[in-house]
Structure 1
Amino acid sequence: MGCLGNLIWFICGGALSGLSWCLAGCLWCITVVGIPVGIQCFKFASLSFFPFGKEVVYSGGTGSFLVNMIWLLVSGLPLALEHLVIGIALCVTVVGIPFGLQQLKLAKLALMPFGAEIIFRGSVF
């Protein structure tokens, strides 16, 4: 399902989601202080473009929590709402359920992205 799923995903909503993360990354990179946040946005844009075969593992501490609170107020809510609306729309049909679940995974990520790590399933690290 990985390659075919990613191809269908990219056509049916992944491109829009990935471009939203790229836009957030570009806006954060305008300031010197926001560059680390922007770089994290670009990492998650790659996940948003092609999510199948990858999973998100959450960890982190106080620093991640503080940055997540700033992120939530500035960029997190619009991205999470976008993923939530698209995910619910995709879950209406039986065929769209796997794609809707990926959008809901990205909505959770959009709320608290710092302290999260992308893990490739099936690869050796």
Structure 2
Amino acid sequence: MKLLLNVIWVVFGGWLLALSYVFAGVIACILIVTIPFGVAAFRMASFALWPFGRTIVEKPNAGVMSTIGNVLWILLFGWWLALEHLVTGIAQCITIVGIPLGLANFKLVPVSLVPIGKDIVPTSSVRAGASTVARFDRCPVRLSRFG
């Protein structure tokens, strides 16, 4: 099902969204100081091209610099990329077939605003991590001396 949704996504606008991220990445890499933004844009381009079956998670070691980077990202690139996802999502939700694609676009709006400090992972690894956490939550023995 993920493959079918991804193919439909690419045909009905995913390639255009990915091209926008590549364009933002090229501009960011031309301005040498903003190369980290270019790397984030290229990472988001791959996600915007093939979003189903992958998700965004917070990087555990993201700190203050990622927050400052995200503020600069919003000012330079994020607002028009988020607007593009919003407009494309509304256009795709007009038809019944396009509703899952539109919802995926709406899911991409927050991450297009603040992509630094985030990581793209397969959804299967997120589910596996959640089940591991759930198993430890049911453990009768406390693993922490403070709990």
TM superposition score category, shorter chain reference: over 0.9
Aligned pair 1:24/2:51, yes or no? Answer: no
Secondary structure, aligned partner of 2:33: coil
Match of 1:83 in 2: 85
Match of 2:109 in 1: 107
Bigger Rg over Cα: 2
The alpha carbon displacement at 1:93 in A equals 2.3
The alpha carbon displacement at 1:20 in A equals 0.1
- Aligned counterparts of 1:19 and 1:62: Cα–Cα separation in 2: 29
- The range that moved more, 109-118 or 57-66, is 57-66
The alpha carbon displacement at 1:121 in A equals 2.2
Aligned pair 1:69/2:41, yes or no? Answer: no
Match of 2:55 in 1: 55
Unaligned runs of 5+ in 1: none
Match of 1:98 among 97, 100, 106: 100
User: After TM superposition, which residue ranges in structure 1, 4 or more long, deviate above 6 angstroms?
Assistant: none
Secondary structure, aligned partner of 1:119: strand
- Aligned counterparts of 2:124 and 2:72: Cα–Cα separation in 1: 34
Identity of aligned residues (%): 45
Secondary structure, aligned partner of 2:11: helix
Match of 1:116 in 2: 118
Aligned length: 125
The alpha carbon displacement at 1:82 in A equals 0.4
The alpha carbon displacement at 1:52 in A equals 0.6
Q: Normalising to structure 1: TM-score of the pair? A: 0.93
The alpha carbon displacement at 1:96 in A equals 1.2
Secondary structure, aligned partner of 1:28: helix
- Aligned counterparts of 1:92 and 1:38: Cα–Cα separation in 2: 33
CA RMSD of aligned residues (A): 1.6
Q: Normalising to structure 2: TM-score of the pair? A: 0.79
Aligned pair 1:12/2:12, yes or no? Answer: yes
- Aligned counterparts of 1:58 and 1:122: Cα–Cα separation in 2: 16
The alpha carbon displacement at 1:35 in A equals 1.1
Secondary structure, aligned partner of 1:118: strand
